[in-house]
Amino acid sequence: MFISLKKKLEFLRNRPYQAYELRNDDTQPARMLFVDEHKPSIAKGAYKLMDLTFHNTVRTVRKGHRDAVFAILSNIIQTLVMVGAFYLFMDFFRSFGAGMAIRGDFLLYVMSGIFVFMVHIKTMAAVAGADGPTSPIMQHLPMSPTISILSAALSTLYTQIVSKAAILIVYHLLWMPLEIHQPFGAMMMILLAWFSGIAVGTCFLAVKPWFPKATGTAQQIYSRFNMFASGKMFVANAMPATMIYFFAWNPLFHIIDQGRGYIFVNYNPLKSNLEYPITISIILLIIGLLGESQTRKHVSLSWFAGR
């Protein structure tokens, strides 16, 4: 005799990924009908995760432009415009003796701050705008918000690295020979700025479903405020102690100053450190992931019905 349909459905509800034929004299499944009971190995699961992340990263890169080359060219133009604007702005004050005296490549000094700033801000914006739990793509079973965050971050890193590499190659060939004291350390600062952007963007992503308009405004304020608060226009070692307090709270200020220590052979950062941005980024990432997990449990499409 088979058990009642009600009990069978109740059992299947507790085991959503398997379907069994049950007998009333035994609570164990008698025969599996649809799904293989063997769990995938760790290697197979990691391969599927990387494969899904790769394809979603490509989709994210091409979201704004059908051709990824145009996305990179657009980012190169934005970077060049910002570098040119800050170069003229700082050179104008230098001509009147009000700027910092830079003993070295002044254009490389400007780019060292702009590159790190743009990697951080672009990553923050991409992660904050990643597909959330109510996005239509989340209806596909293998997809998850974690993969969406990782794909958004990797797509931004790819675009930024290719753009910066292209600018530096042209700079080396057409302007003057490029000399970086410790290229590996400088690259690590780019990755640290990227990681810090992920941490900040995750916090914005966690709050966004609750306060979408306020979160968007906060993102813009954060981006605009860091134009000055990142300290990319100043040499930290030459700043007075009373002025350092306006910038020392910002992890991006420490990353930029430490990066210049790796780029220039005659610069040794004395008023910044690496422990602070790493610690703050890890704390913000944990807070953001915990907040995103709680938001995922409560968010509903009805929240956005009237928006």
In angstroms, rounded to a whole number, what is the distance separating the alpha carbons of residues 274 and 257? 10
Q: In this predicted structure, what is the pLDDT of residue 17?
A: 45
Residue 210's pLDDT is what?
85
Question: What's the confidence (pLDDT) of residue 301?
Answer: 59
SS3 content of the chain, % helix, strand, coil (to 5): 65, 5, 30
Q: What's the rounded Cα separation, in Å, for the pair 8 and 108?
A: 70
Output the six-digit token pair for 296: 């995922």
Q: DSSP letters along 181-201, please?
A: S-HHHHHHHHHHHHHHHHHHH
E strands within the chain? 20-23, 26-32
Q: pLDDT per position in the chain (307 positions), as tens?
A: 444 555 544 544 555 444 444 444 444 444 443 344 456 677 777 777 787 888 778 777 777 677 777 888 888 998 899 888 888 887 776 665 555 666 777 888 889 999 999 999 999 999 998 877 767 776 666 777 888 888 889 989 998 999 999 999 999 888 888 888 899 999 999 999 999 999 999 999 989 888 888 988 999 999 999 988 888 888 888 888 888 888 889 999 999 999 999 998 888 888 889 999 999 999 999 999 998 888 877 766 556 555 5
Q: What's the burial of 244, exposed, middle or buried (CB within 10 Å: 0-12/13-18/19+)?
A: middle
CA distance linking residue 128 with residue 204, whole number of Å: 5
Instruction: Give residue for tokens 């405020």.
Output: 225
The tokens for 79 are 């970077």
- pLDDT of 105 reads 79
- Alpha-carbon distance values, 220 to 144, 148, 226, 227 (Å): 27, 22, 10, 11
Q: Is 116 helix (H, G, I), strand (E, B) or coil?
A: helix
CA torsion sign for 120, 125, 128, 132 is negative
Burial 163-178 (b: 16+ CB within 10 A, else e): bbeebbeebeeeeeee
Cα–Cα distance measured from residue 180 to residue 105, given in angstroms and rounded to the nearest whole number: 10
Task: Check residue 30 and give its pLDDT.
Answer: 41
CA distance 86 to 91: 8
Do strands 26-32 and 20-23 pair parallel, antiparallel, or not at all (unpaired)?
A: antiparallel
Predicted local confidence at residue 18, as pLDDT: 45
User: Any idea how long the chain is?
Assistant: 307
